[in-house]
Structure 1
Amino acid sequence: MNAMMTASDEQMKTLDALVEMARDTERSIDAMQAARDGVLALASRWAMTMVEQQGDADEADLMLRSVAAELAVVLRVSDRTVQRRMADAELKVERFPAVWQAQGAGRISAGHTRVIVDAGMHIDAPEARAAYSARMLEFAEDESPNRLRPIAERLAQQYQSRSMDERHQEAREKRAVWVKDHPDGMAELGVFGPAALVHGAFDRLTEMGKALTTARSAGPDTDPDAASMKDPRTLAHKRTDLALDLLLTGSPAGHDTPDGLLAAIVPVVSVTVPVFTLIGVAGVESPEAEVDGRCPIDAGTARMLAGATTGWDRVLTHPVSGGLLAVDRYRPGAHLKRHLRVRDQRCRFPGCGVPARRDDLDHTLDAAFGGPTADDNLAALCRRHHVLKHQTPWHVTQLGDGLLEWTSPTGHAYIDEPPPQNTVTFTAADADTEVGDHLADVWATARDESLAPF
């Protein structure tokens, strides 16, 4: 029986009222948090103004400490916490005023503000920050913070004064591994390193964890009764056990089968890189390469990965809108799956960010009722939202061009758009200028030379 199908009209009205109350309450909380940031930023500015009037720069830190201590006593928190909040608030209010104001008006949440500020804090020019903020607010009003993060990281790159390669080389100097102790005999091991390598390591642990039960039950000496017992560990437990096993022994010795099925699993990292970025064309503003729609990486790493792979998926996009047109490959494969996973990039339920390569490809109109196996009747759904679609009154309709309209049990409709592609776009006017001729020559070079490995 589908969940909620037996709910009465009165019960559904109650749920609808609770949803409205939750939305309004959340907006009020976000607005009040923005107001608090404004007060803390004013307190920080007051302290600095007093220092400037006295002309003693050495007193700045003491003045800030004193103001923070005064606020801390009233707020009943540590003065160090208040001073940190004052610095964060001043960063938001002074450097990203439009974002702060949007939160105060209830247009975006505190989570959206944090994502936008974190990605754009290294944009130096005020005009560039303002332009970045304006573009991000267009996305933030429709996307959840977890979906907004890769968009913010991508757009922030376009306004940076230094290249991604320069900043990556500097950031690599901060790579580290650390241990943090926790209660009850537990500890945390952290790794900070190049994104492509970290995501690759995580993917290998994930695939090994998924294959673990099958691999162990397939061994020639496995007890049939033991093999039939379900492994009680979650995927997170298996990742942890395998990671420690690999770090301590160099191989999954405590989990592997005699024929080494787990050890044979290799990591998979999906990278999208515009061809102009790949070949380093001068004079063309091209986005950075991206790992799995999550975060930008430097062009050097992207070129290394592209040169080492056995085949590429070619993603064809519209030159002006940037929309996905087609995906092809010069090697046999599941063409439709590749197309959908490139188009969707993550689960298509509003607000969900689970990568598409871990999702199910679901028929919007079930195949049993005549739904075609085609891109306009398929979408990537994580297992959680796949079950939600089939076992509750939530339902979805395809509107064309990858747009999905979800209707909730209370009758509210929510539109989910496929995320923008990581690609180069041009204005229509470019076709009638010398820029258009230059781009045509560049594209011919890219087609004839850079795609030769296919």
Structure 2
Amino acid sequence: MPVIDALEQAEAAVAACFDAATWAASEHDLVVALDAAHRLEQRVAAVKLALVREVDGRGIAAAQGASSTVVWLRERLRLDGGAARRLVGLAASVDAAPCGVRAALAGGSVTVEQARVIAETVETVQAAAGVEVADKAVGVLLDWAGQFDATLLRRMGARILDHVAPEVADAAAEAALRAQEARAARDRQVTVSEQSDGRLRLSGILDAEAAAVLRAAIDPLTAPAGPDDTRSPGQRRHDALADICRLALRTGDLPENGGDPAQIVVTTNYDSLTRQLGAGALDTGLHLTPDTVRRLACDAAVLPAVLDGTGQPLDLGRQRRLITGPLRRALVLRDRGCAFPGCDRPPRWCDAHHIHHWADGGPTTLTNAVLLCGHHHRHLHHTDWNVRLTADGHPEFIPPTWLDPTQIPRRNHYHRRT
């Protein structure tokens, strides 16, 4: 019987099943019917892949004016590009698979994805241990396919040599690991794309070692910073990455950039800074809000410049008001970490915040400073929380009225006090 006639008969039979009253079927019949529908789905998928492989092999797409079989399938079957590409790849994998795998797929006993996993695993086994061992692997994998989905089957297939050729398993595993490391080294990359509003889009692939380093550094910083932390997991990861970069800048161990220490440079007018008016400009040309400029100025070096009437620099003064050296050490001894209630961030992750802002006349003294992690530093600048020192010399925080109408002061009890 021609393929088209058989498919038309099958389509008619399936259409009749769709109109059947499934509500009247018994529980047993429903389960049996579901199993049968699943087998039929796999068989139809196998037929579809065989047709795609033949269309691709004959060059029908090019003959009909398409640039590739993927493009032809995308237009013909109204698929997206990724689905069409996977379909062509699956067709090639199944076509190259051992006869037993194709027979199992045609019989509906394995899914298309399972067949692909088996085919790729057997190809690897054959390259490592030869045809005879590969044939043994087919039988084992087909047996496992009756118990495990494609994802688990792939994981188990990674150690298939332990079952079919233990004498070469260790050497093959080492070779596979070396190949995996080589692929990771080749594919590692990070892309930084600058958006029109100054934000950056990060994307990339890290090798196993770099991924472990990143997780070790970022995971401790991604936990919520207290019961009032409303940031999403993605926002916490963002802030953790920024905190790690700030820590790296604070160490002073980064290579120089253009003859200067690695740093961010913000330019603002003094009157604008003191009156909380006007924006600041980064050396990249982008602008920051007044609130952000004042927050950055809390724990940064301020270098005053004398400008002429046209805004040209005539004289650069010395850095001043930065909380460093003995003063910062005294601050660390007092606060022992972020002083915001409930926060456990250690001193090395913290900025020194002027309680009464330096630009407003606040002194750079221990009694006018408090340690805050990056998140709570931003939080204090952009919300109605307030901080003050008590009679015992330790900071306490007054919550906004919407959080606590009585505004009972709160302290951080996480860090050990002496």
Q: Same fold (TM over 0.5)?
A: no
Structure of larger gyration radius: 2
Greater relative CO (CA pairs within 8 A, separation 6+): 1
Normalised to the residue count of structure 2, the TM-score between the two structures is 0.39
Normalised to the residue count of structure 1, the TM-score between the two structures is 0.37
